[in-house]
Amino acid sequence: MRNELNRVVMRFPSKSINEGLARSGAAAFASQLDPTLDELGDIRTAVSEAVTNAIVHGYKDEIGEVIMTMKLFEGDEIEIVISDKGCGIPDIDQARQPLYTTGGAERSGMGFTIMESFMDSLKIKSAEGKGTTVTMRKRLNTRRYR
């Protein structure tokens, strides 16, 4: 693994209003690497999906804590980990299928697919009754060397 250059941890209640805070916080943290606007958009979108999943699916009808850990590594790589102590995912393979959702008719079931398409890697760990951890990584094509 590359040398870690910086790390920030944010903890917040699983309220939908905090999704925007997480999205903005991740973009601000990533901006240390002077990414393109498209890269910042990708990060915002992936974080939004991961945090929304924790709020909507992880805690369902209760308020819990969402933890977002962001790390920068040598080589212009960012890692963002979103974790909760919610209900967990019974079948990760099924949950990763496009259009599958446990959130009702208003949910698209595209969260993991979107995260995977906007980031270079996506790992999901979950245990029923213990929570879920989503780890996303992206190498940025920073402008500072151009």
Catalytic residues: 49, 53, 107
| Distinct helix (H) and strand (E) counts, the chain | 4, 5
Element (H, E) at 102: none
Q: End-to-end alpha-carbon separation of the chain, Å?
A: 25
8 Å CB contact between 129 and 94: no
CA angle, residues 141, 143, 146, in degrees to nearest 5: 110
C-alpha distance from residue 36 to each of 4, 30, 39, 141 (Å): 21, 10, 5, 7
